[in-house]
Amino acid sequence: MKEELLHYIWKFQKLTHSQLKCVHGEKVQIHHPGTHNLQAGPDFFNAKLMIANQLWAGNVEIHLKSSDWYVHNHQNDDTYTNVVLHVVWEHDAEVYRADGTVIPTLILSNYVASDLLNRYQNLMTNHRNWINCENELPDIDEFIIKNWLERVYFERLEERQKLISKELSELNNHWEALFFRMLFKNFGLKINGASFLSIARSFDFKIIQKNDNPEMIEALFMGQAGLLDEIKEDAYFQSLKETYKYVRHKYNLTNTSVLKPQFFRLRPPNFPTIRLSQLAVLYAQHKNIFTSMIKTDSVEAFYDFFDIAASDYWTTHFNFGVPAAKRKKKLTKKFIDLLLVNTIIPIKFSYAKRNGEAISDHLIELATTLAAEENSIVSKFNSIRPLAVNSLDSQALLQLKNNYCDKNKCLNCAIGNSLIGNKTG
């Protein structure tokens, strides 16, 4: 038995009947179980309970054993003064208020059906499966899944908003500079994301705003990335290196804190040389990208905006001094989709929240217009049951797997709830 199950039972009132009695015979009627508190303090705030024909408004504390009250030293903690009901699985000690009166205690085990406990046990011991509900997932009601995935998707956006807000604070609320950093990071994808973010952080965004020469910006990016440190005979390399020397001196730059980007295990179109050049061209053409993104809603308009390619040198190269077949290195629609999913939508969401604006329906429309991402987690879910139709679904599935399934938080999941408690009440 785990305390989190007791919280679930109390929160959702998964009790066999409503005729409840405390250990000393006081009748209990639950008008409202209270608000679940996930921080320090009593487990449920502001419950409304009729105990022995007297209406109480106060807090509820839940333990496996009554004696846990003393184990956790609640008797010396003023935050537990307003506890009006102690809910336990096993009663093994009387608990008193500071004035010496007994806190009513309800033994929850007297009012919980055995089939609920069995379903919980069966679900939580399914660790040999990829996820606990792997066998049951194909039969879950579609309505439950779709609503839960949308909720989890917004939970993911809320988490990203916290990271964005932290970065924004460091930039004194400069949204264009923030967008630059976040876009830079996501141009690096998973392998070079941290490296690209460190590059973007290594110089003041004002340098970009003051310059529109793509070669100068490319030299800045390549030099800060440490990609111009070698000695090469290649003419374009030499030209960038000379330009970088000038830029580095002019703006007193250092790249000692930069994580050097990796080429290993990357397809050539994702080489840092190509992605940095594409970024340089983009920022040579556009200075107020954040402002443009906030005003843009349609997917086609985003595709048009990001219709750029790396500089001409990279048409016949993937790396300095190594010729390759001629091919213009444009941003693909698939890559732009990733930018929309990982940069633009989260920043649009954060901007709206920051300004107290309602989250526009166009964000949902945008997320559901984009194709689902392709990765191992999404593929595995789809092999169990086809769930990812669009990017909202795939983002939600990533959040579900990492924050619920992997942490065995089935009781906090609508899918787990439907499996554990749907036959009790």
pLDDT value of position 24? 94
Give the CA-trace dihedral at 220, 221, 222, 225, to 10 degrees. Answer: 120
Q: Is residue 95 part of a domain?
A: yes
pLDDT of 362 above 50: yes
- Considering the domain architecture, whether residues 74 and 185 belong to the same structural domain is answered as no
- Considering the domain architecture, whether residues 181 and 315 belong to the same structural domain is answered as yes
Q: Is residue 393 part of a domain?
A: no
Structural domain range at position 30:
3-112
Q: What's the chain's average pLDDT?
A: 94
User: What is the mean predicted confidence (pLDDT) over 145-157?
Assistant: 96
The tens digit of pLDDT for each residue in 271-285 reads: 999 999 999 999 999
- Considering the domain architecture, whether residues 178 and 107 belong to the same structural domain is answered as no
Q: Is residue 395 part of a domain?
A: no
Out of 267, 296, 331, a domain closes at 331
pLDDT value of position 418? 92
- Considering the domain architecture, whether residues 233 and 97 belong to the same structural domain is answered as no
Per the structure, the count of domains in the chain is: 2
Q: Is 425 helix (H, G, I), strand (E, B) or coil?
A: coil
User: What is the mean predicted confidence (pLDDT) over 392-415?
Assistant: 96
Q: Is residue 157 part of a domain?
A: no
**DSSP per residue over 114-173, as a string?**
HHHHHHHHHHHT-TTSSSTTTTTGGGS-HHHHHHHHHHHHHHHHHHHHHHHHHHHHHTTT
Q: Phi and psi at residue 208, in whole multiples of 5°?
A: -70, -40
pLDDT value of position 57? 95
Q: Is residue 257 part of a domain?
A: yes
- Considering the domain architecture, whether residues 185 and 326 belong to the same structural domain is answered as yes
- Considering the domain architecture, whether residues 215 and 101 belong to the same structural domain is answered as no
pLDDT of 425 above 60: no
C-alpha distances (whole Å) from 149 to each of 352, 392, 393 are: 21, 8, 6
Residue 58 confidence class, pLDDT cut points 50, 70, 90: very high
Residue 424 confidence class, pLDDT cut points 50, 70, 90: very low
- Considering the domain architecture, whether residues 23 and 92 belong to the same structural domain is answered as yes
Q: Phi and psi at residue 54, in whole multiples of 5°?
A: -125, 130
Q: Is residue 344 part of a domain?
A: no
The tens digit of pLDDT for each residue in 196-228 reads: 999 999 999 999 999 999 999 999 999 999 999
Residue 422 confidence class, pLDDT cut points 50, 70, 90: low
- Considering the domain architecture, whether residues 322 and 190 belong to the same structural domain is answered as yes
- Considering the domain architecture, whether residues 81 and 206 belong to the same structural domain is answered as no
Residue 47 confidence class, pLDDT cut points 50, 70, 90: very high
pLDDT value of position 251? 96
Q: Is residue 354 part of a domain?
A: no
Out of 63, 97, 112, a domain closes at 112
- Considering the domain architecture, whether residues 183 and 37 belong to the same structural domain is answered as no
- Considering the domain architecture, whether residues 192 and 285 belong to the same structural domain is answered as yes
User: What is the mean predicted confidence (pLDDT) over 285-294?
Assistant: 94
Residue 100 confidence class, pLDDT cut points 50, 70, 90: confident
Out of 112, 134, 154, a domain closes at 112
Q: Of the candidates 36, 33, 42, which has an alpha carbon nearest to the alpha carbon of residue 78?
A: 42
Q: Is residue 263 part of a domain?
A: yes
C-alpha distances (whole Å) from 377 to each of 49, 78, 141, 210, 399 are: 44, 46, 21, 43, 10
- Considering the domain architecture, whether residues 178 and 325 belong to the same structural domain is answered as yes
